[in-house]
Amino acid sequence: MTRPDRIVPIGPGGNRARFPRALTGLLALLASLSAPVAAQEDPTPPSVGTPPRVIDRMLSLAKLRSTDSLIDLGSGDGRIVLEAARRGAHAQGIEVRADLVAASRREAERLGLTQRTEFRQADIFAVDLSAASVLTLYLSPEFNERLMPRILATMRPGARVVSHDFPLGTWRPDAIERLDVPEKNYGRGGESVVMLWIVPATAAGRWRASIGDGSLKQEFVFSIAQQFQAIEGALLSDHGYRRFARAALHADNISMTLDGAPSPYREGSVTARIEGDRMTGIFRFRATEAVGAVFRAQRIDTRPDLFE
C-alpha cells in the first residue's frame, strides 16, 4: 500500500477556529520557541545535556512504559536513553560523536543496562524511526523542522514524540509544560519547555462508507481534510458536501458527528479505528446514544479534493 500524505491543508480558518482561547498563551509560547537563540547561529545542536528533572517530565509526558521502544536522536552522553532503560523500556541512542557513544556504552555497562540499551554512531537523518513508540529530541528548531515530515511519514499512529525546548515546525503540540530549572545556564536559561506530540493516523481523503448490514445497509461517501491531528469532514449527498458538526482524530481513533446520512441512520456519531485505508467502528444514533450499527469505510481517493 502506498501511504498517502499525512498533511492536507484545511481551508482558511478551519483549523485555527477550533483552538480554545486557553491555548492562545501556549501558542504565543510556541512562537517564542521558534525564534532562533541569539548566540546560536549554527543550527547543529551542541552537546549539552537535558537536566534530570526535565528528563523525568519528558518521560512522564510520553507515559513511558516497559513495553516501549524509545529512540533519542542526538543522544549526547546517553542520559535520556539510560533513564528510559532504568524505567524498563528498550532504548536506543543515535549520536554523531564517537567519544559520546563510547562514554554512553561505558555508562550503560556500569549501570548494568546493556541488555536494554543500544548506542549507535550515526546521523539522525539516516535513522529508521518506524520501530520506535517514543522519540525524544533535544536538538534545534531547524533540525526538528527537517525531522518532522519523516516522523509523520514513518512513525506509527499513536507513537509519542517529546521535545525539550524546540517545536516541531508548525505541528501544534498535544501538550506543553514549562518547568523552572534554576541549574540550567544554557539555551532557555533557568527554564525548560517540554512538548508532546501524538503521531496521527492518515485520515485525509475521500472514503466510501457503509452503516449497517444486510437489508439495513446504507452506503455513502465522505471526505476528510487533515492538518496534522486537526481534521474536518463532510458527507457527500445529492446536494453537495455537508460539513460534519464535529470531527476529531487521536492517534488512529477517529470520531465524527454525522448529519444527513441515508435513512434510517440520518443523525448520529461514529467512532472508528483507522488501519491503513480502512476504518471500522460503530455508529450511534444521536437521540438515544444507543449503538445503531457497524460502521465501515474504505479510502477511495487520497487527494484533498474536498468540499467543492
Site residues, ligand SAM (CB under 6 A): 44-50, 72, 74-76, 79-80, 94-97, 100, 123-124, 138-139, 164
Helical segments of 46-97, H only? 52-61, 79-86
Q: Look at the chain and count its residues.
A: 308
Nearer to ligand SAM, 6 or 184 (CB): 184
In whole angstroms, what is the distance from residue 287 CA to residue 256 CA?
A: 15
Minimum CB separation of residue 186 from ligand SAM in Å reads: 9
| Three-state SS at 57 | helix
CB of 154 to ligand SAM, least distance (A): 17
Residue among 74 and 212 whose Cβ is closer to ligand SAM: 74
Judged by beta carbon, residue 123 or residue 289, the one nearer ligand SAM is 123
Nearest position to ligand SAM, beta carbon: 74
Question: 3-class DSSP state for residue 241?
Answer: strand
Q: What single letter denotes the amino acid at residue 246?
A: R
Nearest CB to ligand SAM, comparing residues 122 and 153: 122
Q: In this structure, are residues 45 and 140 in contact, taking their beta carbons and an 8 Å threshold?
A: yes
Q: Whole-number minimum distance, CB 107 to ligand SAM, in Å?
A: 12
Name the grid cell of 198.
501524538
Least Cβ distance, residue 103 to ligand SAM (angstroms)? 11
51, 112, 103: which is closest to 77 by C-alpha? 103
CB of 86 to ligand SAM, least distance (A): 15
Nearer to ligand SAM, 32 or 47 (CB): 47
Q: How far is the CB of 83 from ligand SAM (least distance, A)?
A: 10
Handedness of CA 272, 275, 277, 280 (dihedral sign): negative
DSSP 304: -
By beta-carbon proximity to ligand SAM, the closer residue of 8 and 151 is 151
* CA pseudo-torsion sign 179, 181, 184, 186: positive
- State the Cα–Cα distance between residues 280 and 210, nearest whole angstrom: 10
Q: How far is the CB of 195 from ligand SAM (least distance, A)?
A: 14
Nearest of 157, 304, 152, 287 to residue 234 by alpha carbon:
304
- Sequence-distant (≥ 6) Cβ neighbours of residue 67 within 8 angstroms: 89, 133
Toward ligand SAM, which CB reaches closer, 124 or 247? Answer: 124
**In the 8-state DSSP scheme, what is residue 171?**
B
